[in-house]
Amino acid sequence: MKKIAVFTSHVYEPMCAMTQKGINAAALDCGVKVIYFSSFSDSYSGRSYVEYNKYDQGDNVSFDIPDLNDFDGIIKISTYFSESVKVHLKQILSKTDKPVINIGGFDPDYMNIVCDDTHSFNEIVSHLIEKHNCKDIYHLAGIPGKHYTQERLEAYKSALMGHDIDFDESKVYYGTLWRDCGDDALDYILENCKKNGKKLPDAVVCANDYSAIGLIIACRKRGITVPDDLIVTGFDGVDDAVNGFPTITTSRQPFYNSGYSAVLALTEIFDGKEIPKTIRILADFMPNQSCGCKPVTADNIQDVRDIYLRRLKNTTNIAQSTTNLMLSVAAAETLPEFFEAVRENAKWNAGYKDMLLCLAPGWDQQRVVGSDYSKVDEDMTVVTGYIGDKDVPAQTFRKKNILPKELLEDPNPYYIFAIHHLQYYMGYLIVNPDVEFQEQDMQQSWLVDLGMIFENRRIQRDLQSSVNRLEFLYSRDMLTGLYNRYGVEKFFSNFFDECVENKKGLAVIIIDMDGLKQINDNYGHHEGDYAIKAIASAMMAVSGDDEICTRSGGDEFVVLAKNYDQLRADDYIKNVRDYISAKTKTENKHYEIVVSVGVYIANPSKDKKEKRLDDYQLFSKYVKLADKAMYEEKRKHKKKAADIKSHIKSTGA
C-alpha cells in the first residue's frame, strides 16, 4: 500500500476539515494510506504571540517525526501555516525527492492545486455591479505580500475595469484575514467616504469570509444594517459565513475537490504519468443575504440554531473532558492509573474515534528534539489508548513505522499530534478525529492541557525525589549512613505503640567508642573514621526490622529496639562486638576497637505516656537512662585499663 504524508495545521478549522475530507475519501477510493502530521500554528491573527515561541517549537515536532524516505508522496495543506512553519517545512522537504503537492496557497517550489481566484473573485465583484448596480465598491484585502492577496486584488481591479469603473487605490484596506480587523477596516472606510462627501460606499468585497464576518459585526455595533445600508461579501464559503445571520454572499472554495484531486494527482505520478505544475479548480458562487439576493428573514434561523447547538455541545463536551481529565489525573496515585484516566477522558468527550498515546524514551527528562529527529529510530511505547470501543494494551513499536502494525495495515487515515510542554517533547498522540463541528481552540486546549499534566506529573516526581533526598540528608549521618537523632525520633512513636500492643519491652541501647582520640593521634584521622564506620557496619549487619540504628554524636551511637528483653539485648551487643573484632582482624588493623554499652529496657504503657510525657520527652528520658548505664561500663573499662597499666609498671613486664 502506497503511503502519503500530509503536513497540515488547524485540522479542525472548516476549510482544512473539508480539504482533509476530500483527501481521506480519495485515499480510500485509491487504496493508499494517509498519515497526517499536524500542528496548531496560526498565520491569521493580527497579534504577535512571540511569547509562545517555545510552545511552537514543541508543537512543530510533529513535522520532524516522519522519515519522508519511507513515504511515496507528500501533501502540504498550507492554509494556516505561519511563516516560521513554512520555513521549517521548506527545510524538511528540501531533503526529499518524493513528489510534493501544495494545497491552500501557492508555492513555486512544488506542484499546486489552487482555487481559480481570478475567475471566482471576479465573479463576485461582477455580480455586485450587474445584479445590484453597485459602483462605489471598497475592497477589504488580505495580508500584504500573500500571493492570494495580490491575486484577489487583481481580480477586483479587473472586474471594475471590465465594467468601466475606475480603480481607486484609496478604496483598498489591508486587513488580517480574521474577524479582528473589522473595526479598523470600518473606521478607515467611513473616514475615506467622509473625505469624498459620502456616508457609506455601495459595497465592500472582502478577501475572505472571516474578514466579512468581522466587518458585519463592526457595522452592527455602529447601527449600520447589512445589506440595507451596506452590501458585504466574503470569499471561501466557510460554515460560519453560510450559516450565520445574515448569511454571507461568498464563493465556496473547492476545499473537498482540492483534497481529492491532490491524492489523484499523486497516484498518477506513482503510475509514471505527468501532471500540470498547477491545477486550478473553480469555486462555487453562493449569493446570500448579505448582498440582498436572499431576504433577511427568520427562515434559516432553525438551521443556524441546530448547527450552533451541535457545535456548542461538542465544545461543552471537550470542556467537560478537560475538567474531568484534570480531576481524574489528580486523583491517580500510580502511572497506570494516570494513563487510564487519560484514556477514559479521551474516549468519551474528546472527539477521537481512535486514540493511542505513545511516549518516547526520556519523555520525563525535558527532552528537546529538532529536524534530525526524523532519522532517529527508537522504541515508542503505547501506554494507553483505544480503537473504537476496544482498549489497546501497552505495546512498543519502532518510531520509523509511525504507527503500530495493526493501524499501519488498516485503510483508515490517522493524525499525529506532538505531546509536549513548551519545547519539551514527550511523544505523540495517534488519533482518528471527528473534525467536523469541533472548535479548534478547545481541541488545542485539550492537547495543551495533556502536555501540562504530563509535565506536572514529572514535576511531582522530581519534587518527591527532592523531598526524599532532603529527608534522607536531614535524617541520616553522612559518614556512616545511619540515621541521626532526628531519624530515630521519627520511629519512636510507632515502636512504642507496637510494644504497648504486644506487651513487649522497648529498648534503648547506647554504644560509645573507647579510645577514639588515641587512634586519631597514633594512626591518623582516616583510621578514626574507619573505626566509627566499622561500628556502624556492625550495628547494621546484626540489625533487622526490630532495630533502628543511629549515630547520635562523634563516637556515640543509639539503637532503638522493639519487642526486646535483657537476653535479646545482651545477644545484640555480643553480636556487635564479635562483628567488630572479626572485621578488624580480617582487615589487619593494628589496634582494637572497643565500645562501652548501656541498655535501658522500658515496658511501655499508653496511659503513663499520655499522662506524663510526649514522644520526644519520653525518648530523651530513655536515652538518659541508657547513657547512665553506658558510662558505668565505660568507668569499669577505664579502671580495668588503669589496673593493667599499673600492673605492668609494677612488675616491669
Q: Is the pLDDT of residue 336 over 90?
A: no
- Global pTM reads 0.68
Higher pLDDT: 414 or 648? It is 414
Separation in Å, CA 374 to CA 63, 73, 88, 150, 531: 8, 16, 13, 36, 58
How does pLDDT run across 448-500, given as a tens digit for each residue? 888 888 888 888 878 877 776 776 667 788 899 898 877 787 889 899 999 99
Calculate the average pLDDT of the chain. Answer: 88
What pLDDT shows up at residue 608?
54
Separation in Å, CA 626 to CA 5, 503, 555, 576, 601: 77, 21, 16, 17, 8
Q: How far apart are CA 9 and CA 80, in angstroms?
A: 6
Q: Which domains does the chain have, with CATH numbers?
A: 3-98+304-460 (3.30.450.40), 115-253+281-296 (3.40.50.2300), 485-651 (3.30.70.270)
Mean pLDDT of 212-240: 95
How does pLDDT run across 168-220, given as a tens digit for each residue? 999 999 999 999 999 999 999 999 999 999 999 999 999 999 999 999 999 99
Q: What is the DSSP string of 91-107?
A: HHHTT--S-EEEESS--
What pLDDT shows up at residue 47?
45
Read off the pLDDT band of 48 (50, 70, 90): very low
Q: Is the pLDDT of residue 324 over 80?
A: no
How does pLDDT run across 285-323, given as a tens digit for each residue? 999 999 999 987 655 555 656 656 666 666 666 666 667
**Percent of residues, the chain, with pLDDT higher than 90:** 64
Among 368-377, 622-631, 633-642, the range with the most confident prediction by mean pLDDT is 622-631
What does DSSP assign to residue 114?
E
Q: Is the pLDDT of residue 426 over 80?
A: yes
What pLDDT shows up at residue 507?
96
